[in-house]
Amino acid sequence: MVSKNTISDNLIDVLCGITDPLLMRAFLTDVMTPNEIEEISSRLQAAVMLEDGAKYTSINEATGLSSRTVARISEWLKKDTGGYKTAIATIRNHHTHL
């Protein structure tokens, strides 16, 4: 179970509350650097690729992430918090509705 934290709860509430993709893009642009957005996007891409059975080398090439980062993402995918798995399911669900 993920613990609650008052400061991060505000962020979570905002992220859950913004349903318009353009408004979400504007929010992320305001609160994160382009490099931070790229890093998180690359981590999510790596998680999808890991779930699809891709090898670390192809993930490194596609994302630019280090093999250690890919290994950590692989470990996080196996943990029971389910955050990455939920995100991947959301991506796959969204793509089937397009």
State the average pLDDT over residues 31-56. Answer: 97
What pLDDT score was predicted for residue 70?
97
- Separation between Cα atoms, residue 73 and residue 84, nearest integer Å: 9
Nearest in space to 45 (alpha carbons), one of 58, 31, 33, 34:
58
Taking the whole predicted model, whether its pTM rises above 0.85 is answered as no
Number of C-beta neighbours around residue 40 at 10 A:
12
The values of phi and psi at residue 53, to 5°, are 90, 15
The percent of residues in the chain predicted with pLDDT above 90, rounded, is 80
53: region left, alpha or beta (phi > 0 left; psi from -120 to 50 alpha): left
The residue written with tokens 């859950």 in the block is: 16
What pLDDT score was predicted for residue 96?
65
pLDDT digits (tens, 9 = 90+) for 59-86: 999 999 999 999 999 999 988 788 999 9
DSSP per residue, 11-44 = HHHHHHH---HHHHHHHHHHHS-HHHHHHHHHHH
